């Protein structure tokens, strides 16, 4: 089974994907790199193949015929992927977050990238308008996932991280065979139990909320209403 942690940016997907992988590994499933070893596919350091369509999707689905593993993605829906989800050869969640908080988090992470010398797109976000322009297309992607109903579960960041039971419910939907280990691993992955390098890698350090100005805030509120936020 191919498990997909898909999302808008800055929605906790790095942490949640890592949590899923740890749970899967604890019950004997391979990592995405192990599962796709020897196949003509490239995953980045966060198990993101960059695309979930065409040959890339087929390679992943072929690898998942006899094993279960998880990948991370930031992609819109497409016909092939939806067919795989509806045909029960893959399971996915798509994480969303209020766009204003995505913009704020993107700005804060951009500052962090510049300080650390990381060459990521976020390093070019100096103004709220820069981050908003980056975020806007993902709002449309999220709308498309919402419109699909059960083909891919859409979960709000605000709900997922509001309580441990919500995280446990989410992983149960993706990988029910991890129920026996999920709670213990969740405790281990609490921010208070992570080392500083782990916190950096999982991006749980950013608590700043940069000001984004009235204009960008208004645009974000309009986008949020499209995603069902009040």
Please name each of the domains of the chain with its CATH number: 2-226 (3.40.50.300)
User: What's the pTM?
Assistant: 0.93
Residue 175: its pLDDT value, please?
96
Banded model confidence at residue 200, pLDDT cuts 50, 70, 90: low
CA–CA separation, 111 and 35 (whole Å): 35
Q: How many CA atoms lie within 13 A of 171 on its CB side?
A: 27
CA–CA separation, 89 and 133 (whole Å): 34
Banded model confidence at residue 191, pLDDT cuts 50, 70, 90: confident
Q: Which two tokens stand for residue 134?
A: 């980056």
35 burial level (CB within 10 Å; 0-12, 13-18, 19+): buried
Residue 203 pLDDT greater than 70, yes or no = no
pLDDT of 9-38, one tens digit each? 999 999 999 999 999 999 999 999 999 999
Residue 192: its pLDDT value, please?
77
Q: What is the average pLDDT score of the chain?
A: 93
pLDDT of 88-118, one tens digit each? 899 999 999 999 999 999 999 898 889 889 8
| Full strand arrangement of the beta sheet holding 90-96 | 69-73, 2-7, 90-96, 153-156
Banded model confidence at residue 124, pLDDT cuts 50, 70, 90: very high
Residue 105: its pLDDT value, please?
92
Residue 155: its pLDDT value, please?
96
pLDDT of 33-74, one tens digit each? 999 999 999 999 999 999 999 999 999 999 999 999 999 999
Residue 207: its pLDDT value, please?
62
Q: For residue 169, what are the CA distances in angstroms to 48, 96, 164, 179, 221?
A: 23, 17, 9, 9, 28
Residue 123 pLDDT greater than 60, yes or no = yes
Residue 125 pLDDT greater than 80, yes or no = yes
Residue 210: its pLDDT value, please?
87
- Average the pLDDT over 201-218 and give the result: 80
pLDDT of 129-178, one tens digit each? 999 999 999 999 999 999 997 777 899 999 999 999 999 999 999 999 99
Cβ pair 60, 99 in contact under 8 A:
no
């Amino acid at each position: 089974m191919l498990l997909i942690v898909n999302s808008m940016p800055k929605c906790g997907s790095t942490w949640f994907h890592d949590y899923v992988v740890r749970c899967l590994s604890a019950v004997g499933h391979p990592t995405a790199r192990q599962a796709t070893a020897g196949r003509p596919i490239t995953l980045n350091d966060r198990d993101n193949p960059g695309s979930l369509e065409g040959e890339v999707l087929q390679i992943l689905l072929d690898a998942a015929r006899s094993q279960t593993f998880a990948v991370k993605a930031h992609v819109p829906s497409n016909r092939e992927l939806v067919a795989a989800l509806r045909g029960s050869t893959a399971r996915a969640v798509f994480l969303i977050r209020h766009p204003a908080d995505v913009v704020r988090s993107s700005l804060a992470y951009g500052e962090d990238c510049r300080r650390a010398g990381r060459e990521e797109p976020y390093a070019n976000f100096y103004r709220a308008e820069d981050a908003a322009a980056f975020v806007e297309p993902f709002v449309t992607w999220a709308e498309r996932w919402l419109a699909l109903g059960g083909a891919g579960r859409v979960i709000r960041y605000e709900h997922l991280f509001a309580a441990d039971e919500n995280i446990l419910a989410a992983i149960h939907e993706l990988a029910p065979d991890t129920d026996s280990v999920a709670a213990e691993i969740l405790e281990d992955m609490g921010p208070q139990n992570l080392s500083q390098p782990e916190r950096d890698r999982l991006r749980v350090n950013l608590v700043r909320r940069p000001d984004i100005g009235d204009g960008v805030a208004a645009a974000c509120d309009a986008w949020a209403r499209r995603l069902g936020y009040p």
